[in-house]
């Protein structure tokens, strides 16, 4: 936001006093904007909001001590004090635009304003659209509901002057607004706190003002397309406001007048409101309805009405959890561009054990990744005492379903988590077995190692290769002797080349003394006339294992084999290439460590 704006556009004979007061008012808003900026930066530090606004409040208090009242005229992008612009911001998210759009023309601060009231006004003026309270109320309604004692305002709503010219319209409007401004500026305590203009209100009070009929239109002549667009926008806005006011009226009736005879009718009305919100994909609004019930039940009402509200809230919760309404939430998760995770979580929290299966099925059919993430979190919290519901689906044919069930079980973290996950290792679908292995590899529990070792004997080479890597990472000292034994086995060189490389690499990645000692001694082997090929093959695997160790000791072994005349020419060349790559890797690793240090 831009601030610190003070432009004099008044008459040449304006007094220095007004200009000085305008500068003082501009300073108030400069400090106010500074405080708002701090609030926006430190939104989490709500206890410090008053502290951020303290300089602005002190400046405002000083101004009001001298002038009693700070009257400000609003335009879409400016605030004016006695024809001096003291604030200007062309952004529609500024301090004035939303108030001006909803009809406010004058805003006034009165002497004696406490810090708490200024803070409430600032939070209201700067709230984001997503934070707007229940059912998209306009800013004037929200101001009225806050019940400010030291803040007053004049609101103009859709009136016009028939065939008057544009200049005449401006004069008449100024007369009306000036009259209300004068009334609001009175020094007595008996003043109007909130005003919406109408012909009936002003007809007897104003002089020299013609009868008001229609609307004020200024600027270029509207085209049919302009008129159609404006009418459509007005229609949509009117629907929103009408719906919001209807809901507020329903809650007022519930709180103040409802009795047992009205129960069924009121419950049906609120149910229709719920369905309307869900059809429009307003899950947050649906949650707000339930929260409103709960707040009313906590108020000091007659016991019979509290009982009635509590009963209605309970039935309303059950209706929220009915299958077709849960499906509406699922549609929201599937189609809405910007998902509100907190709202979905709050909505689905009304579900019980019976509805949990429906949400599990919803998850199974959900293709959107971020929506699946939300449902996984909901189910993990909802199903803490029902892990068997998710365990039964580990036999599902869909790898996505099994993956989601594993994620839920991992979040719940039951005592038998590893045993449940291990069931995936026996699944006929290789993708599910690999998913189970990946989950076991992430586990820090020692019992998981036993199942990883079991996967090393799986019939599929992908599983065995994955298990070698997982065991080397999770338990190097336990893995090294197993890999040495595998390389010493008679069938090692007859295995698929991918598996031979995987075993040698995994042995090197353990970076243990056992691995270094065994891989180094392989080069002592000598081949006869008929066994030279096998010796070279095992030495090639040793070179791969040493390269995977990425250590200085392994580099020294490889460098020694470059000059070892007992090796064949191919082995010496392979050792030379591996040593060069390893040297580069070690240098890069040291440079990175030095940079971090």
User: How many CB atoms within 10 Å of residue 215?
Assistant: 10
Report the run of H or E that residue 106 belongs to, with start and end.
strand 104-110
Q: Which two tokens stand for residue 566?
A: 């007992």
Residue 246: other Cβ atoms inside 10 A = 13
| Torsion sign, CA atoms 573, 577, 578, 580 | positive
Length of the chain: 597
Residue 370, pLDDT > 60, answer yes
Contact in structure between 28 and 56 (CB atoms under 8 Å): yes
Cβ neighbours for 237, distance < 8 A, ≥ 6 positions apart: none
Inform me whether the pLDDT recorded for 214 exceeds 70: no
Q: Are 301 and 347 within 8 A, CB to CB?
A: no
Q: pLDDT band at 484, cuts 50/70/90?
A: very high
pLDDT of residue 455 exceeding 90, the answer is yes
Backbone angles phi, psi at 112, to 5 degrees: 95, 5
Model pLDDT, residue 13: 43
Cβ neighbours of residue 210 under 8 Å, at least 6 residues apart?
A: 161, 162, 164, 172
């973290």: which residue's tokens? 413
Inter-residue contact 181 to 236 (CB < 8 Å):
no
Tokens of 71: 């009257």
Whether the pLDDT of residue 218 is over 70: the answer is: no
Q: Are 443 and 475 in contact (CB under 8 A)?
A: no
Give the whole-angstrom CA distance, residue 95 versus residue 79.
9
Q: What is the pLDDT of residues 76-118, one digit of tens each?
A: 889 999 889 999 888 767 888 888 888 888 899 999 999 999 9
- Percentage of the residues of the chain whose pLDDT score is greater than 90: 45
C-alpha distances in angstroms, 308 versus 303, 317, 373? 9, 14, 38
pLDDT of residue 453: 94
Give the per-residue pLDDT at 157.
53
Dist CA 194 CA 149 (whole Å): 11
For residue 7, list its beta bridge partners: 85
Query: What average pLDDT does the segment 175-193 reach?
Result: 50
Decide if pLDDT at 577 tops 60. yes
pLDDT at position 129 over 70: no
What is the number of H-type helices and E-type strands within the chain?
27, 7
Return the CA Rg of the chain: 38
Cα-based torsion angle of the residue sequence 590, 594, 596, 597 in order, rounded to the nearest 10 degrees: 130
Give the closest residue to 591 by CA, choosing from 583, 126, 88, 409.
Answer: 583
pLDDT at position 71 over 60: yes
More confident residue, 150 or 17: 150
Residue 44 DSSP label: T
Q: At what angle do helices 283-297 and 263-279 cross, to 10 degrees?
A: 150
Q: What is the mean pLDDT of residues 29-57?
A: 88
d(C-alpha 249, C-alpha 246), whole Å: 5
Residue 270 has pLDDT above 60, yes or no: yes
């Amino acid at each position: 936001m831009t601030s610190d704006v003070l432009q004099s556009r008044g008459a040449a004979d304006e007094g220095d006093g007004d200009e000085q007061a305008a500068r003082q008012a501009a300073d108030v808003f400069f400090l106010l904007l500074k405080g708002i900026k701090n609030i926006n930066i430190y939104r989490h530090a709500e206890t410090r909001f008053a502290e951020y606004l303290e300089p602005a409040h002190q400046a405002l208090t000083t101004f009001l001590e001298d002038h009693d009242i700070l009257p400000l005229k609003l335009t879409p992008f400016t605030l004016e004090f006695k024809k001096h612009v003291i604030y200007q911001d062309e952004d529609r998210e500024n301090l004035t635009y939303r108030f001006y759009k909803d009809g406010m023309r004058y805003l006034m601060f009165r002497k004696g304003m406490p810090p708490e009231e200024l803070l409430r006004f600032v939070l209201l003026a700067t709230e984001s659209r997503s934070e707007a309270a229940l059912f998209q109320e306009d800013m004037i309604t929200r101001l009225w509901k806050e019940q400010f004692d030291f803040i007053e305002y004049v609101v103009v709503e859709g009136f016009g002057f028939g065939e008057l010219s544009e200049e005449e319209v401006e004069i008449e409007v100024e007369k009306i607004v000036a009259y209300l401004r004068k009334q609001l500026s009175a020094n007595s305590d008996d003043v109007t706190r909130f005003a919406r203009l109408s012909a009936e209100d002003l007809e007897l009070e104003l002089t020299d003002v013609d009868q008001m009929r229609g609307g004020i239109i200024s600027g270029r002549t509207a085209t049919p397309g302009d008129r159609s667009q404006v009418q459509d926008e007005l229609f949509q806005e009117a629907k929103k406001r009408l719906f919001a006011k209807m809901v507020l009226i329903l809650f007022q009736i519930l709180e103040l007048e409802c009795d047992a005879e009205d129960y069924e009718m009121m419950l049906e009305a609120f149910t229709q409101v719920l369905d309307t919100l869900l059809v429009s994909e307003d899950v947050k609004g649906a949650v707000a309805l339930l929260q409103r019930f709960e707040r009313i039940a906590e108020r000091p009402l007659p016991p019979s009405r509290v009982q009635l509200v509590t009963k209605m809230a309970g039935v309303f919760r059950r209706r929220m959890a009915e299958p077709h309404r849960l499906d509406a939430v699922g549609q929201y998760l599937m189609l809405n561009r910007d998902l509100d995770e907190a709202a979905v979580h709050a909505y689905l929290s009304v579900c019980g054990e019976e509805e949990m299966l429906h949400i599990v099925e919803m998850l199974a059919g959900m293709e959107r990744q971020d929506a699946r993430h939300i449902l996984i979190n909901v189910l993990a919290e909802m199903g803490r005492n029902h892990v068997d519901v998710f365990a039964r689906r580990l036999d599902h044919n869909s790898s996505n379903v099994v993956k989601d069930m594993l994620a839920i079980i991992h979040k719940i973290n039951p005592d038998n988590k590893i045993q449940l996950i291990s069931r995936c290792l026996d699944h006929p679908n290789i993708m599910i077995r690999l998913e189970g292995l990946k989950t076991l590899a992430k586990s820090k529990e020692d019992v998981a190692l036993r199942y990883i070792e079991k996967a090393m004997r799986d019939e599929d080479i992908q599983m065995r290769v994955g298990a070698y890597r997982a065991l080397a990472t999770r338990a190097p000292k336990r893995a090294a002797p197993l890999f040495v034994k595998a390389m010493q086995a008679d069938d090692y060189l007859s295995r698929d080349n991918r598996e031979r490389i995987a075993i040698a690499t995994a042995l090197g990645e353990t970076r243990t003394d056992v691995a270094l000692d065994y891989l180094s001694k392989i080069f002592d082997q000598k081949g006869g006339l008929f066994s030279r090929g096998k010796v070279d093959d095992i030495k090639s695997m040793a070179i791969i294992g040493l390269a995977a160790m990425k250590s200085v000791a392994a580099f020294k072994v490889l460098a020694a084999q470059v000059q070892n005349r007992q090796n064949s020419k191919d082995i010496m060349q392979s050792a030379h290439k591996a040593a060069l790559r390893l040297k580069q890797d070690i240098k890069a690793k040291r440079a990175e460590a030095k940079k971090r240090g």
